Amino acid sequence: MNFWLTVLGMLVVTFGSRLAGMFLTKPLPAFWNRFVRFVPIAVFTALITPSLEGTRGEGLPRLLAAIFCGFLAWRTKQLWIGLFVGMLGFWLLRELF
Partner 1 sequence: MFWRGFRAIMPLYLGIIPFALAYAVTARAAGLGILETQALSVLVFAGASQFSAAPLLGAGVNGLAIILTTFLLNVRHLLYGVAVARVLPNMTWRERIVGAYFLTDESFGTFLASGVRDYRFLLGASISLFVSWNAFTLVGALASSLVPDPNALGVDLVFPLSFLALLIPVLKARVEWFVALCSGILAWLIVPRLPAGLGILMVGIAGSLLGAILTHNEIPTENIHLEDATREVA
Q: Are 73 and 79 in contact (CB under 8 A)?
A: yes
Q: What contacts 79, CB < 8 A, 6 or more positions away?
A: 73
Closest distance between partner 1 and the C-beta of residue 55, in Å?
9
Closest distance between partner 1 and the C-beta of residue 91, in Å?
7
Please give the residues from 9 up to 68 whose contact with partner 1 meets the rule CB under 8 A.
9-11, 13-15, 17-25, 27-28, 30-52, 54, 56, 58, 62, 65-66
Does 97 bind partner 1 (CB under 8 A)? Our answer is no
Sign for the pseudo-dihedral over CA of 40, 46, 49, 53: negative
